[in-house]
Structure 1
Amino acid sequence: MKYTRLLLATIVLLLTSPLYAGDKQDEKDLRLAASIGDVETISALLDRGIPVDTANKFGKTALMMAVENDNFESVVVLLNRGADVNARTVAGCSALTFAAENGHPALTAMLLERGANLHDRTRAGWDSLMIASRYGITDMVEQLLFKGADPKASDKHGHNALMMAAEKGHADTAAMLLKHGAEIESRDKNGSTALILAADSGNNSAVTVLIDHYANLDAKDNDGATALIWAVGQDRLEAARLLLEAGADVNLADTDGITSLMEAARKGSQPMVKLLLQHGANKMNKDNEGHTALDIAEKKKHVEVAGLLK
């Protein structure tokens, strides 16, 4: 019994010593200190033996939180104390992907110098270049490309950095990616190109950049739809105008035989119908079921549009 009490006392002493101190609250305090840039508290907690890479239930570490909140000095301290620069969250995010998402070029440079993996992917398949492109952080995109990021890499849906920039309307970012070798005619798993995605979203500045870089105006996705058909289907009048003025074929049809004029008739858009007719849309074309644009307009009870098509 005497020896048992002595053993228990020794264990208690060890667990309460600075070397072993580190309950859950202390770990939370470390991450909080990193979030708010409290370098003094970070150092004190680490001196007490709190693991530098302790993470919350989502796998987010103090380093990630410091990066996310642009606390440069905290990042320096944590890295100097051995923080794992390539630690990953449950969703596969790293300190570098957080830096890319939040637009912190200086931190990105430091993380790369300390060995951050440029090609790490999140669970969605996004690398830091895709993330920076998606958010239109052009200076960071340039930095990552200079360091060797691959502009041709794609996520699990086949989307690459150029497609993400184009879809979100980040024209300058798209231009930067094209300058550094992004493939303008690459396709996602639906067969969509960057131009199709930009036109569908109505991001006219991105549409213009892609046209200026000689994107194929009449490329079709897996359903046979072109950028023009998508623009018309979403009632993107200016995007449709840009495509038509650049020479897009107004009479191409998708796999169901639907043309851009038929899409405009379905939507009931008089301005779009007028635009398409001005650029030579054929009112007599029929879809696979034998319907003309006029038939579609009349079925939808778009009286004014039907009048334009008679």
Structure 2
Amino acid sequence: MKHFKIATLLLLAIVTFPLLSAEKSILESKLRTAAANGDIATLVKLLDVDHVDINARNKVGITALMQAAEEGQIKAVGELLTRGANVNERSENGETALTSAAENGESVITAMLLERGADLYARTRAGWNALMIAAKYGLTDMVDQLLFKGADIRSADKHGKTAAILAAEGDHTDVVKMLLKAGAQVNCRDDNKTTLLMIAADKDYPNLAKLLISHHASLDMQDNDGATALIWAASAGHEDIAKLLLEAGANPDVQDNDGMTALMEAAANGDT
């Protein structure tokens, strides 16, 4: 008889467990939705359910805190932090609540997360930390906030790109200026040995080029192909940038790995 009762209990558990698990999953999905929408009443109600995990992740590893941070839901972030949400939980792509807040320029939420111990140096799978993300998107206020908190300006992603390089690629001259003032190297290079000045020359960013020249950027550094900023400008047909570089003292006789000078590149592209 005792064995029969045990078997009955076990069968009941086998039937009940999947149902409870499914219910838990549904409630946790609703929790993330409430956080993203800033629906505090629903959020609180769900957090009061015993078996709901505040740090539950969706299929790509996103938590309620990450969603609230991304959507700029300050009250939801506050409630989740008060209830003990893990501030440094990571998604499958390595994103954290802080990187999500940084990407969207959410300064108040960024401050809240840092106060609760968010890792300022945490990186996404691409190798980007919060500062790199803010720099990439030209978010000057966010960059300023993160620099004040001690963000590492010399960290590089998996391609060797620093915050300054990422900012330069988007022509975010004000951000580059802030980073240089904070100690970023004006001659920093990525894995291809591309410099900030080469980026400005290639993409035709005259204001950025002027800033870099004023900070004494090296004019004749060469990338992995032996090209200088002047060769980049000549190859792309950017006359104004080439003029800036020449006036600053760039050497027009430097040859790349194929023996091409800036003049040869200009001629080859019909710009002589």
Q: When the two structures are superposed, what TM-score results if normalisation uses the length of structure 1? A: 0.81
Determine the structure 1 residue equivalent to 2:147.
145
**Residues 1:34 and 1:226: Cα distance change in structure 2 (over 3 Å):** same
Larger Rg: 1
Aligned CA distance change for structure 1 residues 24 and 16 (closer, same or farther; 3 Å): closer
Structure 2: which 5+ residue stretches go unaligned?
Answer: none
**Secondary structure of 2:198's aligned partner:** helix
What residue number does 1:291 align with?
A: none
Closer, same or farther: CA 261–44 of 1 in aligned 2, 3 Å: same
Residue of structure 2 in register with 1:113 after alignment = 115
> Does the alignment pair 1:60 with 2:62?
yes
Structure-1 residue corresponding to 2:267 = 265
Residue 223 of structure 1: aligned partner: 225
> Corresponding residue for 1:43?
44
Q: In the alignment, which residue of structure 2 is the partner of 1:23? A: 24
The residue that corresponds to 1:179 in the other structure is 181
2:9 and 2:123 mapped to 1: Cα distance?
Answer: 51
Q: Offset of 1:73 from its aligned partner? A: 0.5
Once the two structures are TM-superposed, the CA of residue 8 in structure 1 deviates from its matched residue by: 5.0
Corresponding position of 2:34: 33
- RMSD over aligned Cα, in angstroms? 2.0
Q: Distance in 2 between matches of 1:216 and 1:170?
A: 20
Which has the larger displacement, 199-208 or 180-189? 199-208
Contact 1:86 1:95 in 2 (8 A): yes
Shift in alpha-carbon separation, 1:10–1:93, aligned structure 2, 3 A: closer
Q: Which moved more, 1:60-69 or 1:187-196?
A: 187-196
Q: Deviations over 1:24-47 (max 9, x none)?
A: 222211111111111111111111
Shift of 1:234: 2.1
> Structure 1's 15 and 82: CA in aligned 2 closer, same or farther, altered over 3 A?
farther
Deviation at 1:118, TM superposition (A): 0.6
Which sections of structure 1, spanning at least 5 residues, go unmatched? 274-310
| Selected match of 1:5 from 4, 8, 21 | 8
Residue from 106, 110, 121 that aligns with 1:104: 106
Distance 2:16 2:260 in 1: 79
Matched residue of 1:52: which SS? coil
Q: What is the Cα deviation at residue 10 of structure 1?
A: 7.2
Deviation at 1:247, TM superposition (A): 2.2
State the Cα distance separating 1:22 from its structure 2 match: 4.2
1: CA distance, partners of 2:126 / 2:22: 37
Partner in structure 2 of residue 302 of structure 1 = none
Alpha-carbon separation, structure 2, partners of 1:175 and 1:6: 69
The residue type equivalent to 2:270 in the other structure is: G
CA distance, structure 2, for counterparts of residue 13 and residue 91 of structure 1 = 34
Once residues 92 and 165 of structure 1 are traced to their aligned partners in structure 2, the CA distance between those partners, rounded to angstroms, is: 21
Secondary structure of 2:218's aligned partner: coil
Contact 1:231–1:239 (8 Å) recurs in 2? yes
Change (3 A) 1:194 1:127: same
What amino acid is the match of 1:189? D
Q: Deviations over 1:242-282 (max 9, x none)?
A: 2223222222211211111111122223xxx2xxxxxxxxx
Match of 2:77 in 1: 75
1:253 maps onto 2:252 in alignment: no
Residue 133 of structure 1 corresponds to 135
Task: Evaluate the alpha carbon distance shift between residue 221 and residue 263 of structure 1 in structure 2; reply closer, same or farther with a 3 A threshold.
Answer: same
* Rounded Cα–Cα distance in structure 1 between residues aligned with 2:122 and 2:5: 55
The number of aligned residues is: 268
1-structure distance, mates of 2:266, 2:35: 54
Cα distance in 1 between the residues matched to 2:22 and 2:79: 20
What amino acid maps onto 1:122 in structure 2? T
Encode CA deviations 1:148-171: one digit per residue, 9 max, x unaligned. 111111111111111111121000
Give the CA deviation at 1:204: 2.1
Q: Secondary structure at the match of 1:129?
A: helix
Q: CA deviation at 1:21?
A: 8.3
Greater CA deviation, 255-264 or 80-89?
A: 255-264
Higher relative contact order, structure no. (Cα contacts within 8 Å, ≥ 6 residues apart)? 2
